[in-house]
Structure 1
Amino acid sequence: MSDKQTLPAQHQDRQPGLESAMHPQPVYISDDYRAAGKLEGKVAIITGGDSGIGRAVAVHYAREGADVVIVYLNEHEDAEITRDAVNACGREAVLYSGDAASEGFCRKVVEETMARWGHLDLVVNNAAEQHPQERLEDISEDQWEQTFRTNMFAMFQLTKAALPHMQAGSAIINTASITAYKGNATLLDYSSTKGSIVSFTRSLAQNLAPRNIRVNAVAPGPIWTPLIPSTFDADKVASFGAETPMQRPGQPAEVAPAFVYLGCSDSSYVSGQVLHVNGGAVVNG
């Protein structure tokens, strides 16, 4: 292993990637996490909740007392593992497979959530995809549009469907990225969506402040999720995270507590903000 190697070289020839095919397996909850009932009785919808950061958030929310609705595309095996992990915490998880950028699908998820529990307290907009290209000219119009549909349109559609049912004290948490602040030479469309998410978060926070609904974001750095081996070649995966001050990738379990904080009353005076969980990089944003 070279000084720059952080992971075994690996690649998955499909998107979305599968957590079950990764080695080592990502850590979605740490042994020393101590729940305190911070989300007791809450109901959360989490997009991209089948694996990676989404799975970690789902399990942390369940540990804190929330029931969760897991929205994902088609990674059924991963989603079932997440559901089982939530159930093992004594909470309920419901799975919805579909296109989160679809207005009709999002409306269905929200309506059925309300029919089941009668309230909706937390929306976590986490679904994302990325497709590296060396040159702007190599990005097709279809790729550009698809990246925005998954990363940005889905956020708009689910939030729009959920808001009429959210009460004072509810919270919306969006997954941004360090790329919104530092950029990325080969992830032009992805980075652009993440910058849009930061602006959306700040603007919506101002819009919803009179309704006492808080809106914040988390901007992860390099985190070991299925997006990584399904996006990059094996050599790049092998050095993933080496450029951070901590010289390693983060685990989903190291990001999820930020979502707990932003979803619970501990952050009652926090809105329009972005928490940076990135291994020590200073991005001044």
Structure 2
Amino acid sequence: MLIGLSTPVVVQTPAMASPWEGGADIEDVARIAEVADSLGFDYLTCSEHVAVPVDEAGLRGAVYWDPLATLGFLAARTSRIRLATSVLVLGYHHPLEIAKRYGTLDRVSGGRLVLGVGVGSLRAEFEMLSAPWEDRGVRADDAIRALRSSLSVSAPSYHGEFHRYQAMMVEPHAVQPRVPIWVGGRTARSLRRAVGLADGWMPFGLTPARIAEMLAAVDIPDDFDIVLAVGPLDPRARDECLNRLRALRDVGATAVTCSLSASSAEHYCDQLASLRDLVDEL
């Protein structure tokens, strides 16, 4: 089971963020990434929101660092840990825009990109960006198909319902022959989208029982990732922490994205070391 981190500081949701994150800076984030890299954690995440309406910030938070800039910086401060968007909102981007920008990230990181994508759930943000809202699901399906055909080639060609292009060059492009694509969501449709078009599913806001029920209703392909989130974890509460991780493994998780409780960046690094020791017992 892969163990990743919901990178602190770069996304600060009220339900998950610790008070110290509000005063942290990029060097704190870099230090945490370096420690996670050295300890053998599998991936770091960063989410995307361009702008959050004031009346939504109390629930969603307002701090969302740009994932491309953030993960590009962390790529230069690490050597092996993978870099996962969790998630890019497909409706905000043309597929070739993603292929160029994140293909470049894949190249500069030595092939460490995991492209997490989602349909999006914030209507006001769609409207601000003049992005279509009502048919965003079918548009996302088309965008994933376009990305699959375009991420790892220099001369992509695609003819779909919403995206069509040919005789175009995209250099640089991803160095991985097949960039892993994980689909976020909380509906049965998001799971079907992930199974049919991608390499993994990242549900959110669902109980383990509901996730198990949804997974039982579909045929999961071999080598398909079930990426579940947990936290905030306190590794000092050893038994509780292990029980929570084992519960997700029993549901079917092949990867777990962890949030950690901590009082400072230094404490967070200590918590990482403790979590690493616990994970070895799973």
TM-score bracket for this pair, using the shorter chain length = 0.3 to 0.5
More strand by share: 2
Which is bigger in relative contact order (C-alpha 8 A, separation at least 6)? 1
